[in-house]
Amino acid sequence: MEMGESSTSTARQKKRKLGNAFDGISPQAPSSSLRAMKKGPFDVFINHRGCDTMHKLASTIYHSLDMAGLRAFLDVEELELGDSIPDEIQKAMRTAAVHIAIFSERYAESPWCLAELSYMLETGTPIIPVFYLVDPSDLRWVAQDKGRYAPAFSHHKKKRRYTSKMLREWKSALQKVSYLSGYMLNSDDGDEEKLL
């Protein structure tokens, strides 16, 4: 009897301690993990090449949007264990009010990035391009198998995992987005703070 009472008492004490840990947290400014529990659309979808931008630009944009009260989708922040990655990404792109596409040096090496970009164009949702150490012309030249992204497309073609129709769609998507007004950071000015 005493043993049961003491374990019940310990459980109540733990519950009180955990309850106090959340005192003072404002419900008006939920963190991204709390907002992720809510059902509903994303405000912004961030398309990026992780190895180029994840720990710098993409993450900073995500956290800045979060601080401003916007629900942004950044794969590493929003995907949870057990989620179907393609389904969750597609749902986020479909529901987002705005897409941000961050074009970086190794962007075209990622079939995921290219497929997301094509799908973003299909949705008709506004896209804000960010040219991160690349020029919009780098996206245009790929249609002629030239420029910075041409080697990536040669590699995709050699792998034979993607149809020639799919490769054409990806090139077309890059070309279309290259004509959109966006933000640019080149190696000359290098002012990432100004870009943000």
What tokens were used for 4? Answer: 């049961």
d(C-alpha 170, C-alpha 156), whole Å: 11
| 116 labelled catalytic | yes
Q: What pTM value is reported for the model? A: 0.73
User: What three-state secondary structure class fits 51?
Assistant: helix
Residues 57-78: tens digit of each pLDDT: 888 888 888 899 998 878 766 6
Q: What does the pLDDT read at residue 159?
A: 85
* Integer CA distances (angstroms), 151 to 14, 27, 44, 138, in order: 58, 49, 30, 12
Residues 41-57 as b or e (16 or more Cβ within 10 Å = b): ebbbbbbbbbebbbeeb
E strands present in 3-160: 44-47, 72-73, 98-103, 127-132
Catalytic residue (choose from 105, 116, 122, 193): 116
Domains delineated in the chain? 41-136+183-195 (3.40.50.10140)
Residues 3-57: tens digit of each pLDDT: 444 444 443 443 333 333 333 323 333 344 444 444 458 899 999 887 665 567 8
Q: What does the pLDDT read at residue 166?
A: 92
